[in-house]
Amino acid sequence: MTVLLGPNRYGKAETRVVRVTRDGDVHRLKDCNVSVSLSGEMEDVHLTGDNAAVLPTDSQKNTVFAFAREHGIGEIEDFALLLARHFTDSQPTIQHARVEVEEYAWERLAGHSFVRAGTEVRTAVVHSAGTGGAESVVSGLRDLVVLNSTDSEFHGYIQDEYTTLPPTNDRILATEVTARWRHRGTGADFAASFASARACLLEAFAGTYSLSLQQTLYAMGRRVLETRPELCEVRLAMPNKHHFDVDLTPFGLDNPGLVFHAADRPYGLIEGTVLTGDAPPASAAWE
Protein backbone atom coordinates (compact mmCIF):
# COMPACT_ATOMS: atom_id res chain seq x y z
CA MET A 1 0.00 0.00 0.00
CA THR A 2 1.29 3.47 -0.93
CA VAL A 3 0.71 6.32 1.54
CA LEU A 4 1.01 9.88 0.25
CA LEU A 5 0.81 13.35 1.72
CA GLY A 6 -2.30 15.13 0.49
CA PRO A 7 -3.31 18.81 0.45
CA ASN A 8 -2.22 20.69 3.53
CA ARG A 9 -1.89 24.16 4.94
CA TYR A 10 -0.98 25.78 8.24
CA GLY A 11 -1.21 29.19 9.83
CA LYS A 12 -2.17 31.39 12.74
CA ALA A 13 -5.87 31.48 13.49
CA GLU A 14 -7.87 34.29 15.09
CA THR A 15 -5.38 37.04 15.79
CA ARG A 16 -7.46 39.76 17.41
CA VAL A 17 -6.18 43.19 16.42
CA VAL A 18 -7.66 46.56 17.31
CA ARG A 19 -6.30 49.57 15.42
CA VAL A 20 -6.97 53.09 16.70
CA THR A 21 -6.40 56.00 14.33
CA ARG A 22 -5.99 59.23 16.27
CA ASP A 23 -7.00 62.41 14.46
CA GLY A 24 -6.73 64.87 17.33
CA ASP A 25 -9.68 64.36 19.64
CA VAL A 26 -11.57 62.31 17.04
CA HIS A 27 -10.51 58.67 16.89
CA ARG A 28 -11.41 55.88 14.46
CA LEU A 29 -11.58 52.25 15.49
CA LYS A 30 -11.05 48.99 13.58
CA ASP A 31 -11.66 45.77 15.50
CA CYS A 32 -10.75 42.62 13.55
CA ASN A 33 -10.10 38.93 13.85
CA VAL A 34 -7.49 37.74 11.33
CA SER A 35 -6.75 34.13 10.36
CA VAL A 36 -3.87 33.18 8.05
CA SER A 37 -3.32 29.84 6.25
CA LEU A 38 -0.24 29.19 4.12
CA SER A 39 0.66 26.36 1.77
CA GLY A 40 3.54 25.50 -0.52
CA GLU A 41 6.67 23.36 -0.30
CA MET A 42 5.68 21.65 2.94
CA GLU A 43 6.52 18.02 2.14
CA ASP A 44 9.70 17.87 4.23
CA VAL A 45 8.18 19.30 7.39
CA HIS A 46 5.45 16.65 7.29
CA LEU A 47 7.60 13.71 6.24
CA THR A 48 10.88 14.37 8.08
CA GLY A 49 10.20 17.25 10.47
CA ASP A 50 12.54 19.61 8.57
CA ASN A 51 11.26 23.14 9.32
CA ALA A 52 13.41 24.96 6.75
CA ALA A 53 10.38 25.90 4.62
CA VAL A 54 8.17 26.93 7.52
CA LEU A 55 7.39 30.52 8.45
CA PRO A 56 6.40 30.20 12.15
CA THR A 57 2.78 30.94 12.96
CA ASP A 58 4.04 33.34 15.62
CA SER A 59 5.72 35.35 12.85
CA GLN A 60 2.42 35.42 10.98
CA LYS A 61 0.69 36.84 14.07
CA ASN A 62 3.39 39.48 14.45
CA THR A 63 3.02 40.44 10.79
CA VAL A 64 -0.67 41.16 11.34
CA PHE A 65 0.16 43.53 14.19
CA ALA A 66 3.06 45.18 12.33
CA PHE A 67 0.99 45.73 9.18
CA ALA A 68 -1.84 47.19 11.26
CA ARG A 69 0.67 49.70 12.62
CA GLU A 70 2.47 50.47 9.34
CA HIS A 71 -0.44 50.43 6.91
CA GLY A 72 -3.50 50.86 9.11
CA ILE A 73 -6.65 48.85 8.47
CA GLY A 74 -8.97 50.28 5.88
CA GLU A 75 -11.36 47.94 4.10
CA ILE A 76 -10.80 44.43 5.39
CA GLU A 77 -10.53 43.02 1.85
CA ASP A 78 -7.62 45.36 1.11
CA PHE A 79 -5.91 44.48 4.40
CA ALA A 80 -6.32 40.76 3.70
CA LEU A 81 -4.89 41.12 0.18
CA LEU A 82 -1.94 43.10 1.56
CA LEU A 83 -1.13 40.34 4.03
CA ALA A 84 -1.64 37.49 1.57
CA ARG A 85 0.60 39.06 -1.07
CA HIS A 86 3.27 39.75 1.53
CA PHE A 87 3.48 36.13 2.64
CA THR A 88 3.66 34.73 -0.90
CA ASP A 89 6.00 37.39 -2.26
CA SER A 90 8.45 37.42 0.66
CA GLN A 91 8.82 33.67 1.22
CA PRO A 92 9.88 31.49 -1.72
CA THR A 93 8.52 28.33 -0.09
CA ILE A 94 5.06 29.84 0.38
CA GLN A 95 3.06 29.56 -2.84
CA HIS A 96 -0.49 30.24 -1.65
CA ALA A 97 -1.94 32.34 1.13
CA ARG A 98 -5.48 32.41 2.48
CA VAL A 99 -6.41 35.29 4.77
CA GLU A 100 -9.78 35.57 6.48
CA VAL A 101 -10.82 38.71 8.32
CA GLU A 102 -13.86 39.34 10.50
CA GLU A 103 -14.70 42.92 11.45
CA TYR A 104 -16.71 43.88 14.51
CA ALA A 105 -18.46 47.22 14.08
CA TRP A 106 -18.46 50.02 16.64
CA GLU A 107 -20.59 53.17 16.60
CA ARG A 108 -19.22 56.48 17.77
CA LEU A 109 -20.69 58.03 20.91
CA ALA A 110 -18.30 60.96 21.04
CA GLY A 111 -14.86 61.82 19.68
CA HIS A 112 -13.16 58.87 21.32
CA SER A 113 -16.10 56.91 22.82
CA PHE A 114 -17.75 53.97 21.10
CA VAL A 115 -20.50 51.37 21.56
CA ARG A 116 -20.46 47.94 19.93
CA ALA A 117 -22.92 47.92 17.02
CA GLY A 118 -25.01 44.83 17.68
CA THR A 119 -23.95 41.29 16.75
CA GLU A 120 -23.48 41.63 12.99
CA VAL A 121 -19.99 40.76 11.69
CA ARG A 122 -18.48 41.77 8.35
CA THR A 123 -16.34 39.07 6.71
CA ALA A 124 -13.77 38.68 3.95
CA VAL A 125 -11.72 35.75 2.64
CA VAL A 126 -8.95 36.24 0.11
CA HIS A 127 -6.70 33.77 -1.68
CA SER A 128 -3.47 34.83 -3.32
CA ALA A 129 -0.70 33.04 -5.18
CA GLY A 130 1.37 36.22 -5.04
CA THR A 131 1.66 39.37 -7.10
CA GLY A 132 0.76 38.45 -10.66
CA GLY A 133 -0.73 35.12 -9.63
CA ALA A 134 -4.28 33.93 -9.21
CA GLU A 135 -6.30 35.81 -6.58
CA SER A 136 -9.87 35.82 -5.34
CA VAL A 137 -11.97 37.87 -2.93
CA VAL A 138 -15.14 36.77 -1.15
CA SER A 139 -16.84 39.41 1.00
CA GLY A 140 -19.83 39.01 3.24
CA LEU A 141 -21.47 39.22 6.62
CA ARG A 142 -22.93 36.99 9.31
CA ASP A 143 -25.28 37.30 12.27
CA LEU A 144 -27.54 39.77 10.46
CA VAL A 145 -30.89 39.22 12.21
CA VAL A 146 -34.01 40.28 10.29
CA LEU A 147 -37.75 39.78 10.78
CA ASN A 148 -40.97 40.36 8.85
CA SER A 149 -44.01 40.34 11.14
CA THR A 150 -46.36 39.54 8.23
CA ASP A 151 -46.39 39.06 4.42
CA SER A 152 -45.15 35.50 4.83
CA GLU A 153 -47.04 32.27 4.11
CA PHE A 154 -46.18 28.58 4.11
CA HIS A 155 -48.46 25.96 2.61
CA GLY A 156 -48.74 23.46 -0.25
CA TYR A 157 -45.84 21.35 1.06
CA ILE A 158 -45.56 17.56 1.25
CA GLN A 159 -47.61 16.04 4.04
CA ASP A 160 -46.80 12.52 5.17
CA GLU A 161 -47.67 10.43 8.21
CA TYR A 162 -45.26 12.47 10.37
CA THR A 163 -46.49 15.93 9.38
CA THR A 164 -48.07 17.96 12.16
CA LEU A 165 -47.24 21.49 11.00
CA PRO A 166 -50.43 23.29 9.92
CA PRO A 167 -50.42 25.41 6.75
CA THR A 168 -50.48 29.16 7.33
CA ASN A 169 -51.36 32.22 5.29
CA ASP A 170 -49.78 34.64 7.77
CA ARG A 171 -46.68 34.04 9.83
CA ILE A 172 -43.62 35.76 11.23
CA LEU A 173 -40.57 35.23 9.02
CA ALA A 174 -37.32 35.70 10.91
CA THR A 175 -33.78 34.62 10.13
CA GLU A 176 -30.12 35.25 10.92
CA VAL A 177 -28.41 35.83 7.59
CA THR A 178 -24.97 34.58 6.67
CA ALA A 179 -24.17 35.91 3.21
CA ARG A 180 -21.01 35.77 1.13
CA TRP A 181 -20.47 37.21 -2.33
CA ARG A 182 -17.66 36.58 -4.81
CA HIS A 183 -15.96 39.39 -6.67
CA ARG A 184 -14.98 39.11 -10.33
CA GLY A 185 -11.58 40.60 -9.50
CA THR A 186 -9.60 42.27 -6.73
CA GLY A 187 -9.87 45.95 -7.69
CA ALA A 188 -13.34 46.83 -6.43
CA ASP A 189 -14.26 49.72 -4.18
CA PHE A 190 -14.87 47.32 -1.32
CA ALA A 191 -16.50 49.87 0.96
CA ALA A 192 -19.11 50.88 -1.61
CA SER A 193 -19.61 47.30 -2.76
CA PHE A 194 -20.22 46.02 0.77
CA ALA A 195 -22.60 48.82 1.71
CA SER A 196 -24.64 48.34 -1.46
CA ALA A 197 -24.74 44.54 -1.25
CA ARG A 198 -25.89 44.70 2.37
CA ALA A 199 -28.58 47.23 1.44
CA CYS A 200 -29.75 44.95 -1.38
CA LEU A 201 -30.11 42.03 1.01
CA LEU A 202 -32.22 44.09 3.40
CA GLU A 203 -34.36 45.66 0.67
CA ALA A 204 -35.13 42.30 -0.90
CA PHE A 205 -35.96 40.71 2.44
CA ALA A 206 -38.32 43.53 3.36
CA GLY A 207 -39.85 43.82 -0.10
CA THR A 208 -40.53 40.16 -0.90
CA TYR A 209 -43.96 38.72 -0.15
CA SER A 210 -42.69 35.33 0.90
CA LEU A 211 -44.28 31.97 0.19
CA SER A 212 -41.13 30.22 1.44
CA LEU A 213 -37.80 31.19 2.93
CA GLN A 214 -36.18 29.68 -0.17
CA GLN A 215 -38.03 32.21 -2.33
CA THR A 216 -36.80 35.04 -0.11
CA LEU A 217 -33.22 33.72 -0.23
CA TYR A 218 -33.25 33.72 -4.03
CA ALA A 219 -34.75 37.22 -4.18
CA MET A 220 -32.01 38.52 -1.89
CA GLY A 221 -29.18 36.98 -3.89
CA ARG A 222 -30.69 38.08 -7.18
CA ARG A 223 -31.06 41.68 -6.00
CA VAL A 224 -27.37 41.80 -5.09
CA LEU A 225 -26.22 40.46 -8.46
CA GLU A 226 -28.56 42.67 -10.48
CA THR A 227 -27.28 45.74 -8.62
CA ARG A 228 -23.56 45.04 -8.31
CA PRO A 229 -21.84 44.13 -11.63
CA GLU A 230 -18.52 43.51 -9.88
CA LEU A 231 -20.07 40.46 -8.17
CA CYS A 232 -20.79 37.10 -9.80
CA GLU A 233 -22.00 34.75 -7.04
CA VAL A 234 -23.83 34.97 -3.72
CA ARG A 235 -24.09 32.18 -1.16
CA LEU A 236 -26.62 32.43 1.63
CA ALA A 237 -27.37 30.43 4.76
CA MET A 238 -30.60 31.41 6.52
CA PRO A 239 -31.90 29.52 9.55
CA ASN A 240 -35.65 29.81 10.06
CA LYS A 241 -36.04 31.43 13.48
CA HIS A 242 -39.45 29.98 14.27
CA HIS A 243 -42.12 32.01 16.05
CA PHE A 244 -45.11 29.99 17.22
CA ASP A 245 -48.49 31.36 18.29
CA VAL A 246 -49.00 30.88 22.01
CA ASP A 247 -52.25 29.16 23.02
CA LEU A 248 -53.86 31.54 25.52
CA THR A 249 -57.26 29.84 25.67
CA PRO A 250 -56.49 28.27 29.10
CA PHE A 251 -56.52 31.84 30.43
CA GLY A 252 -59.70 32.88 28.64
CA LEU A 253 -57.77 34.99 26.13
CA ASP A 254 -57.68 34.94 22.37
CA ASN A 255 -54.47 35.40 20.42
CA PRO A 256 -55.10 36.88 16.96
CA GLY A 257 -51.43 36.87 15.93
CA LEU A 258 -50.20 39.02 18.81
CA VAL A 259 -48.17 36.81 21.17
CA PHE A 260 -45.51 34.34 20.00
CA HIS A 261 -42.97 31.95 21.44
CA ALA A 262 -39.56 32.42 19.82
CA ALA A 263 -37.97 28.97 19.61
CA ASP A 264 -34.19 28.79 19.25
CA ARG A 265 -33.90 25.08 18.29
CA PRO A 266 -34.38 22.93 16.40
CA TYR A 267 -34.64 25.17 13.37
CA GLY A 268 -34.97 24.84 9.63
CA LEU A 269 -31.77 25.77 7.79
CA ILE A 270 -32.12 27.08 4.25
CA GLU A 271 -28.96 27.38 2.13
CA GLY A 272 -28.52 28.33 -1.48
CA THR A 273 -26.31 29.84 -4.17
CA VAL A 274 -27.32 32.48 -6.71
CA LEU A 275 -24.90 33.24 -9.53
CA THR A 276 -24.67 34.97 -12.88
CA GLY A 277 -24.67 32.97 -16.08
CA ASP A 278 -21.15 34.15 -16.89
CA ALA A 279 -19.65 33.55 -13.44
CA PRO A 280 -16.05 32.36 -13.78
CA PRO A 281 -15.06 29.11 -12.08
CA ALA A 282 -14.82 29.53 -8.32
CA SER A 283 -11.71 27.34 -7.86
CA ALA A 284 -10.66 27.67 -4.20
CA ALA A 285 -12.32 31.03 -3.59
CA TRP A 286 -14.88 29.69 -1.09
CA GLU A 287 -12.52 27.43 0.88
Angle between helices 213-227 and 190-207 (to 10 degrees): 140
Question: Could you count the other beta carbons within 10 Å of the beta carbon of residue 162?
Answer: 6
Of 95, 119, 106, 117, nearest in space to 42 by CA: 95
Strand partners, 32: 17, 103
User: So which residues are the catalytic ones?
Assistant: 12, 57, 242
Q: What is the b/e burial string over 64-94, where b = at least 16 CB atoms within 10 angstroms of the residue's CB?
A: beebbeeeebebbbbbbbbbbbbbbeebeeb
Q: Which residues pair with 210 in a beta bridge?
A: 152
Peptide bond preceding 266 in cis form (omega within 30 of 0): yes
- φ/ψ bin of 151: left (φ > 0), alpha (ψ from -120 to 50), beta (otherwise): left
Alpha helices by DSSP H, listed for 159-189, are none
